[in-house]
Chains A and B, each alone.
Chain A
Amino acid sequence: MALMTKTIEDLFVYLAQGSDILVIFLFLLFIKRCKSEKGLWAISVYCFLFLVINYLADFLFVNLIHFFYSLFTYIEYCAFAYFLWLNIKSTFFRRLIFIGSCIFILGLTIYYQTTEFRSIDSVPIGFEFILILLFSFYYLYEQMKDTTNLVIYTKYQFWILTGIMIYLAGSFFIYIFANQLDKNFLKQFWFLTNAFYCIKNIFFCIAIILHVKKQNKFYHIKLHPTLS
């Protein structure tokens, strides 16, 4: 039974890493169509860094795992906040994101300097998730108000945001309680974070494919205006 559980856990870890590779692969495959989109760059770089950090933490520098965990929180927050900052139209809210991010990063640095690391950095992750979820809600609210838009799910940003939100919402409580709960009990649920991570990456892939399809249509119209 224990072996079975371990296999399932490992399967999700591999799936999470594999989904990262898939995002990077798709981005590189369609780089011509994607290179102008800063949002797609942000998520691809984020996936790449996650992969590298995981590799470094698991195989090369196992004793520096805490450092890599904190580094990952920085990168994740910056990638998601940057993506939302790019796509939110309100100047006031963009400023708010910028100021909020500066404060958060400063707080994060102070936290890592002053607090002893336990199994995971629950408090910064909690703050990070809340901030990103708040920014995401605002983005959706802005899209809802904007009646000039096409249907929201025709934009690739929507799929990225849905992936981010599902991942954050699904992993939120697990990360928050990671330090408080019994390790064996937590292990039963830990695979969920990897599952949500996979789901997020699947949404990222959908976003890339959607963007490429749209671009293809655009190029087709540009090349053959009469066939539009």
Chain B
Amino acid sequence: MLFMGTLGMLVLTIGLILFIIFHQRKVIRYQLRLQQMEQEQQKILLNASIRLQEEERQRLAADLHDDAGPLLATARLYLNENLVNQDKATQLQSIFQARQILDDTIQLIRNISHSLMPPTLKNFGLESAVNDLFQKISGSGTINASSRFHEYKDRLKPEKELIVFRVVQELINNILKHSNSSFIHLTQNNHNGSFLLRVHHDGRGIVQTDFEKLNKSNVGLGLKNISSRLRVAHGNILFEKDASQTYYKITVEIPRDDQYETLTISS
């Protein structure tokens, strides 16, 4: 009995110590795997943001090269050295044509500049910029778009406004491209000190699991862009289907408080 008791106690104690060692090793391995997955996810997001930046640069280069370049070259043709030798009527006509072309170029460059940084957002804030965007979409006549800000007396910080605006742009872009919906409706509220945006549409959409899957894959550049922007603002996004199963609902939540004062953004 004495021997068995001693043996039993020893087995129990050593078993317990071994169990704790193996359990802890298992937990550490699991944590390492999680860390690795997070690093991979960050790498994907970084790649996506670099790719997006490159695409944006290419678009900008194409706009300048293909549109502004030929227009300016044409204007230069109208204003060549021979113009002084021509009669007054031809001179006037040439100058008029050149001016017309320069006006077009100015408008083109303005459009490019607006697409980079909407002036409404800078001057009048997120509410006006979003309303403006939705009016433009609605004005095209193909889709019914409306937006309503309920509690936006206290504006977000400019850098956060820009993030939200880019996210909304990306979401709307995706809806227009893929959903085939007949309406988009955006509402803004506050909830527990957070800024809340909800976008509803009646087309084809995605739910949270699809979003997470796309976020981890190599496709879905726009969604990764949304993720990385929201990460900067410490925000969240939720893709879900409405309770009635008729609409898709996207909720964006961003904390309003100033604990992320040192926010640095490169848009």
Contacts and interface: CB of A to CB of B under 8 A. Distances in A.
A21 interface: no
Contact of B6 (A151, A153, A173): A173
B2 interface: yes
Given A140-B17, A165-B17, A149 B10 contact: no
Nearest to B14: A166
A166 B10 contact: yes
A137 B21 contact: no
B2 A165 contact: no
Interface string B7-48: 001101110110011011101100100000000000000000
A174 B2 contact: yes
B177 to A, nearest CB: 43
A166 B13 contact: yes
Interface of B: 2-3, 5-6, 9-10, 12-14, 16-17, 20-21, 23-25, 27-28, 31
Given A166-B13, A169-B6, 5 more contacts: A147-B27, A174-B6, A189-B2, A189-B3, A192-B6
A162 B2 CA distance: 22
6 contacts: A149-B24, A151-B24, A165-B13, A169-B12, A169-B13, A177-B2
Contacts of A162: 17
In the A-B complex, list the 5 residue pairs whose CB atoms are closest, starting with the nearest: A173-B5, A169-B13, A169-B9, A173-B6, A165-B13
B21 A152 contact: yes
A172 interface: yes
Contacts of A60: none
B5 to A, nearest CB: 4
Nearest to B27: A147
Contacts of A189: 2-3, 6
Nearest to A144: B20
A152 B6 contact: no
B6 A140 contact: no
A169 B10 contact: yes
B75 to A, nearest CB: 62
Nearest to A192: B6
Interface in A111-151: 133, 137, 140, 143-144, 147, 149, 151
A75 B21 CA distance: 30
Contacts of B2: 173-174, 177, 181, 189
B2 to A, nearest CB: 5
Nearest to B23: A144
A166 B24 CA distance: 20
A151 B3 contact: no
Interface string A170-205: 111110010001000000010010000000000000
Contacts of B13: 133, 165-166, 168-169
A147 B31 contact: yes
Contacts of A137: 16
**Which of B6, B14, B21 is most buried by chain A, counting CB atoms within 10 A of its CB?**
B6
A143 B17 contact: no
A151 B21 CA distance: 8
A142 to B, nearest CB: 10
A181 B6 CA distance: 15
A173 B9 contact: yes
Contacts of B6: 169-174, 189, 192
A209 B241 CA distance: 61
Contacts of A177: 2
A153 B10 contact: no
Contacts of A168: 13
A169 B16 CA distance: 12
A9 to B, nearest CB: 16
A172 B24 contact: no
Nearest to A176: B5
A195 to B, nearest CB: 11
Nearest to A185: B2
A144 B12 CA distance: 17
Contacts of A152: 20-21, 24
B234 to A, nearest CB: 23
Nearest to B17: A162
Contacts of B17: 140, 162, 165
Contacts of A133: 13
Nearest to A150: B28
Contacts of A149: 24
